[in-house]
Amino acid sequence: MITLSDIQSALGRIRSSIYLSPCARSETFSESTGNQVYLKLDNLQRTGSFKERGALNKLLQLGPEERARGVIAASAGNHAQGVAYHAGKLGIRAQICMPLTTPLIKVSATRGYGADVVLHGANYDEAFEESVRRSQAEQLTFVHAFDDDAVIAGQGTIGLELLEQHPDVEAVVVPIGGGGLIGGIACALKESTSESKRRIKVFGVEPTRLPSMKVAVAEGKPVTLKAASTIADGIAVRRAGDRTLPLVQKYVDDIVTVEEEEIANAILLLLEREKTLAEGAGAAALAALVNRKLPFTGKKVAVLVCGGNIDVTLLSRIIERGLVKDGRLVRLRVHLPDYPGALNRLTSILAEHRANIVETDYDRAYHGVGLGETAIEITMETRGPEHIAEIISALGAAGYTQERVL
């Protein structure tokens, strides 16, 4: 198990090559949650994620022969880019095994940093197995994404930075995938010399669909969960690490889970209110805070925004889902007579109540539509839930039969 000394040594080793990410107060989230909220923006690292901290710490400890042979890693995104970028800077040959389903933008970014990308397997597990096989066959040093002491210590440097930036922080909220990030941060915070710093609470956040660390803590050992998809793909880990679990058991106060819609809404909030782009994993910690999943108020809280690498098409879908969750995008199915002018009357009511129509779709055969009638599905931008209720009330008063399409 790593120690505070390991993390301090890691910080000294990587500090000159890693961006000291800001941890600024968020007035928006402080007001909405009743806490003093500070966002630690490690999504601003060169590769868009905290992952390069651990990767660099591992690479800097390789011997001359290991550097000469090269390294290999398995990843579908952030870890791949962190290893590739710093290996390239150090003149170390790097291979990265990525699943065949990896988005092209991530493959291109990894290659752009100088790594040899090997596309293999239908999922991360198959890519991981191939990377282990190649590591043994070609005598390459394997750089694990989280279950490696040097990697964990590197990620833990965020904890030391937090104490430098906000010595009086009372709680820290961290996303959990395999556990390397929260394990390192929690160790750094809880093992600091000051008694007051030992009282800092550390909370982990996982997607409800893949709570591998929460299950591991409950069972007392890592458990392999069934595969599941989540927009927080950066923390979609089916099995907690053997090295990270003891750190979580010792130092982490509690683990909570968040739903897909909550994560989507947190991405949208960060984009709109803080002008910060976060991927699903990067927004998970904030999702827990704004949805009241954490047992505190009135505290000085640091929230990790740990990654910002998100595919733009996925971002578009997430924004749309977030707008729906926030009540600013709604779809109603309205039954109306099928004669000239009927649509004009309907849209006049919507215009009167300042709803902005973005999409319509007619249907004369389904949804119980009678002869001489039509059903129209209207997608509208609104100001929020109260505005939606106002629109529905106005349509009902005008005699329209309608229902909300979810």
- Per-residue pLDDT of 147-199, as tens digits, reads 999 999 999 999 999 999 999 999 999 999 999 999 999 999 999 866 655 68
Question: Who's near 6: CB < 8 A, 6+ residues apart?
Answer: 149, 153, 156
Domain boundary among 323, 348, 377: 323
Q: Where are the alpha helices (DSSP H) in 293-352?
A: 312-325, 342-352
Partnered with residue 336 across adjacent β-strands are: 374
Q: How far apart are CA 306 and CA 266, in angstroms?
A: 13
Mean pLDDT over 12-25 rounds to 97
Give me the helix-helix angle, 385-397 and 342-352, nearest 10°: 140
Q: How confident is the model at residue 367 (pLDDT cuts 50, 70, 90)?
A: low
Question: Who's near 74: CB < 8 A, 6+ residues apart?
Answer: 96, 97, 98, 124, 127, 128, 130, 131, 132, 145
Per-residue pLDDT at 295: 94
378 and 264 within one domain: no
Say which amino acid occupies 240.
A
Per-residue pLDDT at 189: 96
- Two tokens at 339? 């004669």
351 and 319 within one domain: no
280 and 136 within one domain: no
Question: 132 vs 123, 146, 170, 256, CA distance in Å?
Answer: 15, 15, 40, 32
90 and 157 within one domain: no
pLDDT exceeds 80 at position 371? no
Lowest mean pLDDT among 134-138, 329-333, 334-338: 334-338
Give me the helix-helix angle, 51-60 and 149-165, nearest 10°: 120
Residue with tokens 């129509």: 357
Mean pLDDT over 253-258 rounds to 98
Mean pLDDT, the chain, rounded, equals 93
Per-residue pLDDT at 321: 78
156 and 300 within one domain: yes
Mean pLDDT over 205-222 rounds to 97
352 and 215 within one domain: no
Per-residue pLDDT at 294: 97
State the residue range of the domain holding 357: 328-404
How many domains does the structure of the chain reveal? Answer: 3
Beta carbons of 173 and 289 less than 8 angstroms apart: yes
pTM: predicted TM-score of the whole model, two decimal places: 0.88
386 and 314 within one domain: no
Best CA proximity match to 387, nearest among 353, 347, 346, 352: 353
Number of H helices and E strands in the chain, helices first, is 17, 14
- Two tokens at 100? 């065949």
Q: How far apart are CA 309 and CA 329, in angstroms?
A: 25
Question: Who's near 45: CB < 8 A, 6+ residues apart?
Answer: 18, 19, 21, 52, 53
CATH code of the domain covering residue 87: 3.40.50.1100
Residue with tokens 């929230």: 303
